Amino acid sequence: MVIAEALKAYALLDAAPVVIVDMPGVRQRAREIAEQFNQRAVYDATYIALAELRGCEFWTADKLIYDAVKATLSFVKYLPDYP
């Protein structure tokens, strides 16, 4: 039964209207953010860079990345603080 439920969930995800956006400069900015805040991986920095370039907030549950950037990047928000 678990496999059937997983297949149904995959089908719903596959049908979702996802738009893939290529933002020029996002990879370079992600590397800059990772370096600036001493992050070994660029993974979280990529989401932060994308939010910065799109001009929107980035909500994260990752306390470590939030604590690293909160004083400088005010658009990064901590999910437990969500109203």
Nearest to 53 by CA among 37, 32, 29, 73: 29
- 15: in domain: no
pLDDT at 1: 63
Helices 26-36 and 43-54, interaxial angle, to 10°?
A: 120
**How many domains is the chain built from?**
1
Other Cβ atoms closer than 10 A to 60: 17
Q: What is the pLDDT of residues 29-80, one digit of tens each?
A: 999 999 999 999 899 999 999 999 999 999 999 999 999 999 999 999 999 9
pLDDT-derived band at 21 (thresholds 50, 70, 90) equals confident
What single-letter amino acid sits at 21?
V
Decide: pTM greater than 0.85. no
- 48: in domain: yes
- 70: in domain: yes
Domain that holds residue 30: 21-81
